[in-house]
Structure 1
Amino acid sequence: MNTTWAPAEQPDSFAFDDESEAEIVNVLKKYPEERKASAVMPLLYVAQRQMGRVTGSAWIPLAAMDDIARRLEMAPIRVYEVASFYTMFNTKPIGRYHLQVCTTTPCWLRGSDAVTEACRKATGIHHFGETSADGLFTLTEVECLGACANAPILQVDDDYYEDMDGPRTEALIADLRAGRKPEAGPTINRMCSAPEGGRKTLLETSASSPDQK
């Protein structure tokens, strides 16, 4: 559960921009009119992405939740419940870059402690849930990200950086601080979740018999 609920200071109003409105139209097409409340999670994402795009801090103000409740004909408390339950929704302002370290067993065994320490060293953040003094980074501990074969994983905003270690984490944060965002994915010599350096099995192709089609 997301235990960091809405901060005291909230914007007075919120309005979806044209880009978000177009996205909302496409989302609502997926649901029957009588089931449109099922779109609450996609619309929360739309609001969060807009805040990140417009303000540099991807979070969901109460005014945005109220707008979503009105559009979906839901009681506002129902939207608040969803937003506060799932940790991927940010209900208070965060840094420009959201550093999310997976610390569950596969990532921990593969060195997530070193990734966490590198994040702290490079940002000046002492504890999970804090934002750096310059406002650029927020550090969060997350549960399994589903990419265990490429552990340890550092998720930055919506992108996975895989096979991380301390030095690679510090280098990534230095790039982000300089306004550069490296390509996401494996950070070692591998494609997707294939072995490092290329595949190790099925290296030979058997010759087909002359009469084989």
Structure 2
Amino acid sequence: MTVFLSLGQRPEEPGPPITGPAAYPPEVAARLADDAARIVARYPQARSALLPLLHLVQSEDGCLTPAGIAFCAGRLGLTDAEVTAVATFYSMYRRTPTGDYLVGVCTNTLCAIMGGDEILDALQDQLGVHAGQTTGDGRITLEHIECNAACDYAPVVMVNWEFFDNQTPASARDLVDALRGGTPVTPTRGAPLCTFRETSRTLAGLADPRAVTNPGGTGEATLAGLRVARANGMAAPDADSTKESASEPDPSITEAADSTRDEPAPAPESAAPPPVNGSQP
């Protein structure tokens, strides 16, 4: 059986990996340099500041551009290629212009079976765009996202990486209508919602002047496993007993390991495994 693998950019990413202006205007470069100096000063080695600096330049352009790549490289003594290699590895750095609100629908297994796929379909119809595209008014960029560790509140929609839990197609449609219309919306927990560029500045490590109005905390769904454990008399092992057992390995395991320590590794089997479903190897 022949399998073809398509390598390269995702289909929704048109053109070269990073496009746009090659350099910032002097006044923009000077402003970014002041912010970058504050960020870099926090790290013993300047190059450790690369990830926050990428967020900083993303806050300027709404995505990464050659100007942002060159700025980061110049500040950290790296090459453009080294910065690009890091920037294109992480999905949190956008390669195409992003709207005011990056709306992500989790379509990993649990969210999908709880309705995530239906939510994504509903939003694509509502907004008239496919995942990876931005609405014509520049307000919303829609995408499907990987797990964001909120499975206990599935299905989850994230807006600029703030949580909107237990969504339905109807509630998700109401959410994007409010975003497009300028109506304030409140995340389930975390900081008040702001634009994508403002979020990027916060992720760069610059001070967020807003107060956290939705601290959230541990909810009932998160505590379900703990309630079941207590109802069944289950408890974690005592820390002292765990340390004691770890310091005294099973003698039979130690003897077995010692008996084979100097033996050569087994040779590969000469017989090929049988074909699967009648296919030829």
Q: What is the TM-score when the length of structure 1 is the normalising length?
A: 0.76
Kindly indicate whether residue 200 of structure 2 is the aligned counterpart of residue 167 of structure 1. Answer: no
Q: Which amino acid aligns with 1:177?
A: R
Aligned pair in 2 of structure 1 residues 192, 2: CA closer, same or farther (>3 Å)? farther
Kindly indicate whether residue 81 of structure 2 is the aligned counterpart of residue 77 of structure 1. Answer: yes
Q: Which amino acid aligns with 1:103?
A: T
1:111 aligns to what SS in structure 2?
helix
On the 8 A contact 1:175/1:181 being kept in 2, the answer is yes
On the 8 A contact 2:73/2:83 being kept in 1, the answer is yes
Structure 1 spans left out of the alignment, 5+ residues: 52-57, 202-213
Distance 1:23 1:48 in 2: 13
2:84 aligns to what SS in structure 1?
helix
Aligned pair in 2 of structure 1 residues 2, 147: CA closer, same or farther (>3 Å)? farther
On the 8 A contact 2:105/2:143 being kept in 1, the answer is yes
Tell me the alpha carbon deviations over residues 133-186 of structure 1, each in whole angstroms, 9 at most, x when there is no partner.
333222111111111111111111132211111111011111101112311116
Distance 2:29 2:112 in 1: 40
Q: 1:103, CA displacement in angstroms?
A: 0.8
Q: Give the percent of matched residue pairs that are identical in Structure 1 and Structure 2.
A: 27
Kindly indicate whether residue 182 of structure 2 is the aligned counterpart of residue 179 of structure 1. Answer: yes
Distance 2:110 2:79 in 1: 40
Distance 1:50 1:81 in 2: 20
Alignment of 1:97-116 (within 5 A): 97-116=101-120
On the 8 A contact 1:2/1:85 being kept in 2, the answer is no
Residue equivalent to 1:27: 39
Q: Which amino acid aligns with 2:156?
A: I
Q: Which amino acid aligns with 2:46?
A: K
Q: How many residues align?
A: 185
Alignment of 1:61-210 (within 5 A): 61-125=65-129, 127-185=130-188, 192-195=217-220
* Aligned residues: CA RMSD: 2.6
Structure 2 spans left out of the alignment, 5+ residues: 1-7, 190-215, 228-281
Q: 1:30, CA displacement in angstroms?
A: 2.3
Residue equivalent to 1:206: none
On the 8 A contact 1:107/1:152 being kept in 2, the answer is yes
Q: 1:96, CA displacement in angstroms?
A: 2.4
Q: 1:50, CA displacement in angstroms?
A: 2.7
